[in-house]
Amino acid sequence: MADLIGFLPDDVDTAAPTRAARLKWVVVVDESLPAGIAANAAICTAAATASGVTGLLGPDAVDADGRAHPGLPWAGVSVLRASAEQLTAIRAKAAAADDVFVADMPAAAQLTRVYDEYLDAVAGTASDALPYYAVSVVGPRNRVDRIVGRLALL
């Protein structure tokens, strides 16, 4: 993973279509998971991504009553599905790629109820032996497309 992946202030163009953004964001979820666990895994990796990628969220939207609604990803995000094997391969390819941000959710995050237990479970498992429930990837559009291929939407 590169030191800093994100949008510079001049990159942010909320008037342009999402496909015009320099970076692409995808969240890939294990297609065999029940809906609730899949949604949780996608949301957890998205939360980690939003805090780790600069400029990802657009400005707050203000409604006609003057109430603010927190900014959403202005460049969009696609939630895709993959087999467990594909997900492991995607995570490995993304982690090895230059200028790509990766946030993942190992299965241990769902199998423990205490965060320190999750940390211990991950610490006791080699990277290539960790099963993943979801992987979030942000990077140059062509690089992300090569990593995820033509996966279907979740």
Q: Encode the chain (154 residues) as per-residue pLDDT tens digits.
A: 445 799 999 999 999 999 999 999 999 999 999 999 999 999 999 999 999 999 999 999 999 999 999 999 999 999 999 999 999 999 999 999 999 999 999 999 999 999 999 999 999 999 889 999 999 999 999 999 999 999 999 9
Q: How many residues does the chain have?
A: 154
**Residue 2, pLDDT score:** 43
Q: Classify residue 64 as exposed, middle or buried by CB count within 10 Å of its CB (0-12, 13-18, 19+).
A: exposed
Prediction pTM value = 0.93
